[in-house]
Amino acid sequence: MKTSKRISNCAKAMALAWTLCGAVNGQESHEPEGRDLLRKEARALESFATTRLSREFLAGVTGLPAVEPRTVYRDPVTRTYYSPTQVAAMDEESRAKLEKKELDETFYYYTKYGTPLAYVRALDVLGTAGFDNVSGKRILDFGYGGVGQLRLLAMMGADAIGVEIDTLQPAFYREPSDQGVVKGRSSRDGRITLLHGRFPDDEAVTKSVGDGYDLFISKNTLKNGYLHPERPVDKRMLVDLGVDDETFVQKLFSILRPGGFVLIYNISPAPAPPDKPYIPWADGRCPFPKTMWESAGFQVIAFDQDDTTMARAMGRALEWDKGEGAMDLEKDLFALYTLARKP
């Protein structure tokens, strides 16, 4: 969603989810380009993926399309992104304030938020719970960040819908090939739909989202620290749902089909010491109480389940603990998830 809300370093993918991406800051990347890097990561995760769902997800990496570099523009004051078409319609004074960004294939798949393959652990959680096939399924990714995981899911035959509030995504994912029908790896084709706006507060976005979902997933977006910070913090670093918590959870219940799942999966760094600035994204607890889920009608399968051991194993497989910007996985990487089902 917002740039300040989920920031990462493309060079170390999700492991550095609390640093700015070098591509956005104009730094050169020394990592393999785009699909090469994803193929390397997929091989590293093969033994880590434990379910059919996650293995099929990784297998799709070999079929990802090449992407030519694209240009976007950013207002350094408002942090708003614009496409070349939007910039062309501006007056000269407004254009002069903008920073031009040339973004390559690596950025296309990683954006500011890291590797799409970090979804593999969330998919393992779902596969273990019985959601083991996305073909023909309707999936909503709340705060999707990048198109990579949506394309991989669509290649598995899913109807994958992503919702974002960050202005980067509509400015960058602007080509017809970024959305629409995606050729499936088996008998069924999938589809990608990208929506921009605040769900469910924005009426037009909510209407486009619709209902009939088999899965609502949110990774690193619905964090307690973003919605209910324990200390004062710049509001630009928070998530504003536009509705109260209870209304949001009830809306999730209403858009799911019977048997549909909600998965909130959060990877977080260690909290800041009391004498340091508060880090909202370090509080990865579910922002909605278990009783709220149950009152809305959900069966809560797992609530704030500690998944740190598995997340660190994923981090080691992806070498987040090596090279420039290496993490101390044992001290600075934690994971929690909440899984609920509509009866």
First to last CA, the chain: 29
> Which residues are CB-contacts of 220 (< 8 A; sequence separation ≥ 6)?
6, 14, 17, 113, 143, 145, 265, 266, 267, 281, 284
For residue range 49-96, list pLDDT tens digits in order. Answer: 999 999 999 999 999 999 999 999 999 999 999 999 999 999 999 999
Whether 22 shows a pLDDT value over 90: the answer reads no
Distance CA 100, CA 84 (A): 10
pLDDT band with cut points at 50, 70 and 90 for residue 19? very low
Residue scoring higher pLDDT (12 or 80): 80
pLDDT-derived band at 254 (thresholds 50, 70, 90) equals: very high
* Tens of pLDDT, residues 200-248: 999 999 999 999 999 999 999 999 999 999 999 999 999 999 999 999 9
The model's pTM:
0.91
Q: What pLDDT band is residue 32 in, cutting at 50, 70 and 90?
A: low
Distance CA 167, CA 3 (A): 8
The one-letter code for the residue type at 29 is S
pLDDT, position 293: 98
Q: How many Cβ atoms sit within 10 Å of the Cβ of residue 129? A: 15
Share of the chain above pLDDT 70, in %: 91
Instruction: Report which DSSP code applies to 337.
Output: E
Would you call 259 helix, strand, or coil by DSSP?
A: strand
What is the SS3 assignment for 321?
Answer: coil
For residues 183-197, one letter each, b for 16 or more C-beta atoms within 10 angstroms of the residue's C-beta and e for the rest, the string is ebbeeeebbbbbbbb
> What's the pLDDT score for residue 8?
37
| Mean of per-residue pLDDT scores for the chain | 91
- Mean pLDDT over 101-106 rounds to 97
Task: Determine the Cα–Cα distance for residues 261 and 224; give it in Å rounded to an integer.
Answer: 20
pLDDT score of 27 more than 80 = no
DSSP secondary structure string for all residues of 88-138:
HTS-HHHHHTPEEEEE-HHHHHHTTT--GGGHHHHHHHHHHTT----TT-E
| Cα separation values, 141 from 12, 306, 316, 339, Å | 23, 22, 26, 14
CATH superfamily of 10-69+104-341: Vaccinia Virus protein VP39 (3.40.50.150)
Task: Supply the pLDDT for residue 20.
Answer: 31
Q: Which helix (H) or strand (E) holds 183?
A: none
